[in-house]
Amino acid sequence: MRARSGGLAGGRAVLFRYLVVGVLSLGGSTYLIRELGPVSWASFSVAYYLIAFLDQTFAPRLLGRLIQADEPPRKPQLEAASRIMQAVGLGCVAFFGAISYPAADLYGDSSLAPCLLAVGVCAYVYSSRSASSALLERELHYRQIVAADVVDQLTFYSIAIPAVALGQGLWGVAVALAFRGLVAAYLLRRWAPTPFFGRAIAPARRSILAFGIPAATASLIYLADGLAPLFVLGGEHATELAFTMTAATIIGYAGIVQVAVQRVGFPSLALLQRYPERFMVALRRTLRLADFAIVSAVVPVAASSPVWLPALLGSEWRRASPVMMAIGAGLIINTFYSVVSPALASLGHAGWVLRLQGAMTAAYLVLAVLITPASALLGPAIAWAVSRAVGAGASMVALHRHRLSVPWPRHAATVSGSVLAMVLIGTLFYERSWIEGSVVGTGFAIAWLIVSKREARVAVSSWGRRARAA
């Protein structure tokens, strides 16, 4: 019961976090994008992706043993975890400081340098609070984590917007990025106190790293996955890079259920690892609800992007709408992996998560290199979507290997039907066939609610219980 109730509460909290952050970003980012322009925004998008990766993906996986272990971590484990993250934070400061200007020269635009310097500073701040975040995640205390994320965003925009308004441009945004985590770090360390520097207690350190290194390596592969557009496009195609990174960020808010599943699913399913039947019930329910949530959010946002994207960011951003549709298709396909990977990690199979991520990223990089010369605009997005299909197939193999089963035919039908509908509706809107697009979109919405009425009732009743409890 604790796993189910805590997981649902955690999922709602994470979804609420992204809703609030999405609203804040809608206003703040719209202003900054219009002031900075696509080229400078491309450099910031790279830096923001690095920061989000270090905070939400790398650190939780490196410290995954604190979350996955049966027994609550004691002082030796917390000391070792803090020492490990101090080393990571200082390493990031040195690494990003050293590569900032050479990387900007290689990229072909000096605006990348201050952004990378900011990443190094912010990474250290995040490292100092990551052990506290891991303790909160272990206990499924996502309200505090969500509060910290919202404070991060408020801190950033409270610095960045005045700085840009005063003429500081990208350097002002970089300063805001560097210090966005300070206030939340103080709060997290108060809510879940941990040593600041810690001691290198060998047995505890080995235990943390034995689990964390494969999981963190998988996350580094995921990092390469996200930075592939930077490598294949570079400064020569900075506008296309801005379209790709920004489209991925915006549609990523619609696909937040995958972040919620991966972030909450790991600690929740870890509580059920000794109860195989309950574990499988939870896994199958998670896949059904994830399918419903991701399609319900991504299809309308991506399909209607030819209408709202240029109205929001300017007419030149209309070209980014096909990119958003391609990335949206990849997000829908990626739902299967987003459910399978935390399930495997919760059972201690971190090595399999590494293999799955490696297979997807290898496919993505190869396809991006092959397709991008033909289309700088759509190449990376199409390559990413196809590589998610590779990941889904590899995830099925992993489930079979570990004798886990899910209703994949229903999932496959959901994915293929929703992707086709999204592309059709989006294409009609892009060609300014407003009536036809609206008719097809309305028909899809009705059909989707009919076939997903069970999942819709579960989602509505869950939020209703939450509202009554509040």
Helix (H, G, I), strand (E, B) or coil at 198: coil
pLDDT of residue 19: 63
Using 50 as the pLDDT threshold, list the residues of the chain that sit under it. 1-8, 10, 460, 462-470
Residues 6+ apart with CB under 8 A from 399: 340, 405, 406
* Long-range contacts, 297-300 (Cβ 8 Å, 24+): 297/254, 297/255, 297/256, 297/257, 298/251, 298/254, 298/255, 298/328, 298/331, 298/332, 298/422, 299/328, 299/332, 299/418, 299/421, 299/422, 299/425, 299/444, 299/448, 300/441, 300/445
Report the Cα–Cα distance between both ends of the chain, in Å, rounded: 20
pLDDT of residue 261: 62
378 and 239 Cβ atoms separated by less than 8 Å: no
Q: Encode pLDDT of 303-318 as tens digits.
A: 999 999 998 888 889 9
197 and 82 Cβ atoms separated by less than 8 Å: yes
Helix (H, G, I), strand (E, B) or coil at 383: helix
| Largest Cα–Cα separation, the chain | 67
Buried/exposed 374-409: b ≥16 CB within 10 Å, e otherwise: eebbbbbbbbbbbbbbbbbebbbebbeeeebebeee
Distance (Å, rounded) from C-alpha 463 to C-alpha 92?
Answer: 40
306 and 318 Cβ atoms separated by less than 8 Å: yes
pLDDT of residue 2: 43
Q: Encode pLDDT of 226-248 as tens digits.
A: 788 888 887 778 889 888 988 88
Buried/exposed 239-262: b ≥16 CB within 10 Å, e otherwise: bbbbbbbbbbbbbbbbbbbbbbbb
- The DSSP output letter for 316 is G
pLDDT of residue 301: 93
- The rounded Cα 161 to chain-centroid distance in angstroms is 24
Distance (Å, rounded) from C-alpha 378 to C-alpha 395?
Answer: 26
As given in the structure block, the two tokens for residue 282 are 């939870």
As given in the structure block, the two tokens for residue 392 are 């889904």
Distance (Å, rounded) from C-alpha 244 to C-alpha 251?
Answer: 11
Q: Encode pLDDT of 356-367 as tens digits.
A: 888 898 999 999
- The DSSP output letter for 432 is T
What torsion, rounded to 10 degrees, do the Cα atoms 209, 211, 212, 213 define? 70
pLDDT of residue 377: 92
pTM beyond cutoff 0.85: no
Distance (Å, rounded) from C-alpha 269 to C-alpha 448?
Answer: 29
**Please, what is the Cα angle at 56 between 243 and 285, to 5 degrees?**
95
Helix (H, G, I), strand (E, B) or coil at 98: helix
Helix (H, G, I), strand (E, B) or coil at 174: helix
